[in-house]
Structure 1
């Protein structure tokens, strides 16, 4: 496994601060590496087709099509049109939450107390839902466009009573995952804490981003061949881009 992309392929890199929000359009044929530099990060992510933002990541289809409740290397993210938005080509963390949802203002205030911008400036308490809505507004999208999100680097399981349980320590310093984009995709993310995080203090973590040009998936690609449904979804995607 080559953990470092070739220097000639690199496009850019940056750090998204703790508790911040970010967005960009990642083109088909690029890979985004997200790295947790400190450990314990959470990245709430939403994905939309750049050509038509009414086509977006579909949690239910992603999970049932691949017979899983979480995502890791070899899995893909489906759109609600049965296409592959992106593929997880590398992953040192091993478990990324798909069911935990987002924090909101009321939850953050209840757990961590009130810290408003007026008094605390950039140290004010942010929440996942409002952060994503603020970022979506740059593209003419809003609250109604927030769907079930990914929570990268976080692990949530279900106990015998059916309750969702957050598993601290899932992501260690330096853990990363690579998302290879199979469609031109609007990526929107927040680095606020997971809503089920039991930490007693408001302490979100930053995430590092690195983007590079990547090779298209061939016929022997592990993500394509993870299951028969993935093969069909790749075919649907490639019909959208007949010229490569």
Structure 2
């Protein structure tokens, strides 16, 4: 089986096409990097992976190994086939964008996951009408007893990975989250690259 390895550069995005049955392994190379993840149906970009629909269909806050990720039309698009991390992935938080960084005090442009998604898709000739809420792989957002949310540090270790298998032909888009103000990417607040491997 041929395996193709590629990099998601730190603070940047990467997009690729998967055929039904192919799988992509997302590797947390340094152990503390969040990877925002989107998936779009090849035949219609308005038909895409949806966290709110996935939560309903699975009856779970975050997907577990063997569970399916569903679209906004409640159809399967990806399956979480393997996960060597502690299994903590966020399905609540919107992708960071320029407005998020303005709220955090940035007065100049800051790279962000929303723009990374748009740029990565443009790199393979695609244009999405909007940025759906991603599956935030490796992101740790504890829900406290009073229902507040904490921007936690990832619980992963270097080399932890998840494998996502395509249930249909789709485009998958990743962003190595640029967040360096909160500890979302670890106590050092230093975004790093991640890696992907695609296998049939």
TM-score of the pair, normalised by structure 2: 0.87
Cα separation, 2, equivalents of 1:11 and 1:22: 17
My pick for the range that moved more, 84-93 or 71-80, is: 71-80
Cα separation, 2, equivalents of 1:158 and 1:200: 19
Cα separation, 2, equivalents of 1:32 and 1:173: 18
Structure 2 spans left out of the alignment, 5+ residues? none
Instruction: Classify 1:114/1:172 alpha carbon distance in 2 versus 1 (closer, same or farther; 3 Å).
Output: farther
| Equivalent of residue 195 in structure 2, options 196, 208, 226 | 208
| Equivalent of residue 87 in structure 1, options 79, 89, 114 | 79
Residues 165 and 196 in structure 1, CA contact (< 8 A), matched pair in contact too: no
Identify the structure with bigger relative contact order (alpha carbons < 8 Å, sequence gap 6+): 2
Equivalent position of 1:21 in the other structure: 13
Equivalent position of 1:217 in the other structure: none
Greater helix percent: which structure? 1
Residues 19 and 168 in structure 2, CA contact (< 8 A), matched pair in contact too: yes
Equivalent position of 1:96 in the other structure: 89
TM-score of the pair, normalised by structure 1: 0.72
Structure 1 spans left out of the alignment, 5+ residues? 1-8, 117-124, 214-244
Equivalent position of 1:56 in the other structure: 48
- Give the total of aligned pairs: 196
Cα displacement (A) at 1:74: 1.8
Instruction: Classify 1:195/1:40 alpha carbon distance in 2 versus 1 (closer, same or farther; 3 Å).
Output: same
> Which runs of structure 1 show a deviation greater than 4 angstroms over 4 or more consecutive aligned residues?
109-116, 199-202
Cα separation, 2, equivalents of 1:74 and 1:196: 34
Instruction: Classify 1:98/1:180 alpha carbon distance in 2 versus 1 (closer, same or farther; 3 Å).
Output: same
Residues 35 and 136 in structure 2, CA contact (< 8 A), matched pair in contact too: yes
Equivalent position of 1:44 in the other structure: 36
| Two-structure CA RMSD over aligned residues (Å) | 2.4
Equivalent position of 1:105 in the other structure: 98
Instruction: Classify 1:92/1:194 alpha carbon distance in 2 versus 1 (closer, same or farther; 3 Å).
Output: farther
